[in-house]
Structure 1
Amino acid sequence: MTLGKFNKYIIKSLSFVFHPVIMPLLAVHFYLKKSPRFIPEEIVYAKLISLSILSIALPILVYFLLKTLGKTESIYLKTTKERVYPLLINCLIIGLLILRVFPLDQIPELYFFFVGILISNITCLIFAIAKFKASIHLIATGGVFMFFIAFAIHFSVNINGSLALMAIITGAVASSRLSLKAHTPKELIIGLFIGITPQLILLQYWL
């Protein structure tokens, strides 16, 4: 493998490893492991399994269904037309997660985190209908990054290493999407804004 091919492989891998469907699981796993709250181990496993099924396995199955029906061509949803149905279905899935897996009376921090994700997805859907392709990758990483910052403030804990890692991941994913010519700088910036802003606004309800 030549150096150029290796670099291209790494760039593509970044977009795949930190795909938007994976980022909520990363955030929830981080919260359940790092939170000073006592959360029984069986609840931790139940939440992670439920989230994995609904936010990863189900969207993958939906993607293959849409691909079979000719509604989408790539898992990266390269056109705004391809984005509409997956985003709409994802909004329904997130709504189900909020109602059944992370209700307000159990873990408020995660409830508002997913409400923020829902707002970001609805905003991205509106942009897609308007023919603008905001970066879903940056929406996801930006939302998680903001949640990590809020977590540190809320519990007064030092997670500087995790924050530095998330900053590196966010930058690497943005560079990857640019290198692959999947987005323009404007689409990346707007995606990051869409991901961060709802999380920032909702801080007043749980911080």
Structure 2
Amino acid sequence: MNYILKSISFIFHPLIMPLLGVIFYFSKSPRFIPTEIIQAKLVSISILTIILPILIYYLLKTIGKTHSIYLRSAKERILPLGLNCIIIYLIVKRVFPPSEVIELYYFFIGVLLSNLTCFILAILKFKASIHMIAVSGVFMFYIALSLHFGININGTLALMAIITGAIATSRLHLKAHNYVELIVGFCIGFLPQLTLLNYWLT
């Protein structure tokens, strides 16, 4: 059981969540988007949200700014979160500007707001769960897309609810967070996506 719960935290790592949101959008969108464009966007997002943060982590570890991939202390999170905010801003400006894919533009605006909130809380020495921030933001985005496109994805939403619960259980079991940090993390991820629906949901 310990191995399973630990694996959940790695399988559903926060770094992969934005990519899952983008993949889901392209798989469900009724709009015609050339395959070449989709592939280019997916490669860009993979590089910017997964590969680049990993490289930055190892750089920070090399120069002694981080000590563990788990970023156990709030202080240790400040610099990685700040750099990640810059990366997300670049995605908003260059990869998904509002003139191209409005849904993904606001999805990443929500991701940026969540990251900024987590960054500010880290400065204030509060360690919100980044795992919960990531999964709850994507969960809300899936719900919004089901309403926006008028599609039935109840199975996917049920699976996301199970995954969210499994991640929370995993983080508690590993003593990475307490209940308050998990709940705050969930709200930080969920609420920006919910609030931004006013700008694109029709």
Give the match for residue 116 of structure 2: 122
The aligned length equals: 201
**TM-score normalised by structure 2 residue count:** 0.98
Does 2:66 match 1:72? yes
Please, what is the CA RMSD of the aligned residues? 0.6
For the pair 1:88 / 2:88, whether they are aligned, the reply is no
Q: CA deviation at 1:112?
A: 0.1
* Residue in structure 2 matched with residue 111 of structure 1 by the alignment: 105
Aligned residue type for 2:127: K
> 1:189 corresponds to which letter in structure 2?
I
2:4 matches 1:10:
yes
2: distance between equivalents of 1:143 and 1:77? Answer: 21
Q: Secondary structure at the match of 2:14?
A: coil
Unaligned runs of 5+ in 1: 1-6
Following the alignment from structure 1 to structure 2, what is the Cα–Cα distance between the partners of residues 112 and 74? Answer: 32
Shift of 1:11: 1.1
Match of 1:189 in 2: 183
Picking from 26, 37, 40, the partner of 1:46 is 40
Q: Deviations for 1:40-81, whole angstroms, at most 9, x for unmatched residues?
A: 111110000000001100000000001111111122211101
Runs of 4+ aligned residues of structure 1 deviating over 2 Å after TM superposition are none
With structure 1 as the length reference, what TM-score do the two structures score? 0.96
- Between the aligned partners of 1:76 and 1:25, the Cα distance in structure 2 is 20
Secondary structure in 2 aligned to 1:21? helix
Aligned mates of 1:112, 1:43 — CA distance in 2: 19
For structure 1, which segment, 64-73 or 180-189, has the greater mean C-alpha deviation from structure 2 after superposition?
Answer: 64-73
